[in-house]
Amino acid sequence: MPSSTEESNDGGELPVANRAFIDLHCHTSSSFDSLARPEAVVRAAAGRGLTHLAVTDHDRIDGAFRARDAAPDDLVVIVGEEIKTADGDLVAVFVEKAVPPGMSALETIAAIREQGGLVGIPHPFDRTRGYGRKSGADPAAIAGAVDWVEIYNARVIGGSANEQAALFAREYSLPGLCASDSHTVFEVGVSYNIVQGDPSTPSGLLSALAGVDIQPHRASYYVRAWTPVAKLIQSMRGNGRRPATTSPGERK
């Protein structure tokens, strides 16, 4: 976990002053596939040394607001959302209104920009959740419209998906980040990023991403066994995945 002795990827020690530890992809019980209470998530994040946490529940942001309200003083919670577009998943941060699922990726990005938000591509080459895996869309088509790519997602299992993502980010000169993609309290902050500066605002995060130092780790594979259990419980509670409210090409 973050400490005063972190080293950069090239082995050199990073300056301690003005350094932030950030995870930009995290879920709470507002997601249809998680039971992690927002209050427990922020306690875990702060306890593990994170300074910034983006809460990105599936197609909704109420859990992020709960997390922000419950966060201790030494943790900045960024309101975000993981959005199921018609082309594939995107992660938005610094939004104040939920972006509805079901629009095209470019329409979704435009809606995020309208709020002054930033956007990244999560787990782009995951064999089951990858961008365009079901739609056939090519992530290269939106490479010039996003702010970062997840080059290491702690929940990717097997294959070379993370390696492909790293090559993609390099090819298109995009910042490459790692993410916990946590769905349980146990996973919060397991994979995180070290940046210089203050990533508490969109402009601050963009500046910080220019020199990001990723810390890629993963939790036990067994934590993923909780996901189908969470989905079942949430479905019984009436909190299943939100259906698309718009069709591609139809903006509300």
Pick the closest to residue 251 from 57, 88, 104 (CA basis).
Answer: 104
- Looking at per-residue confidence, does 10 or 212 come out higher? 212
Over 70: is that where the pLDDT of 103 sits?
yes
**Whole-number Å distance between alpha carbons of 146 and 226:** 31
Domains and CATH numbers, the chain: 19-236 (3.20.20.140)
Over 90: is that where the pLDDT of 12 sits?
no
Pick the closest to residue 240 from 82, 34, 24, 5 (CA basis).
Answer: 34
- The radius of gyration of the chain's CA atoms, rounded to the nearest angstrom, is 17
- Structure tokens, 102: 């079901």
Q: How confident is the model at residue 224 (pLDDT cuts 50, 70, 90)?
A: confident
- Looking at per-residue confidence, does 8 or 46 come out higher? 46
Confidence (pLDDT) at 243? 84
Mean pLDDT in residue range 46-52: 98
Over 50: is that where the pLDDT of 79 sits?
yes
Task: Express each pLDDT in 183-218 by its tens digit.
Answer: 999 999 999 999 999 999 999 999 999 999 999 998
Over 50: is that where the pLDDT of 250 sits?
no
| DSSP code per residue over 180-223 | --BSSGGGTTSSEEEEES-TTSHHHHHHHHTT-EEE-----GGG
Q: How confident is the model at residue 109 (pLDDT cuts 50, 70, 90)?
A: very high
> Taking CA 182 as the corner, what is the angle to CA 42 and CA 137, rounded to the nearest 5 degrees?
130
Q: Which segments of the chain are extended strands (E)? A: 19-23, 52-55, 76-84, 89-93, 118-121, 148-153, 176-179, 192-196, 213-215
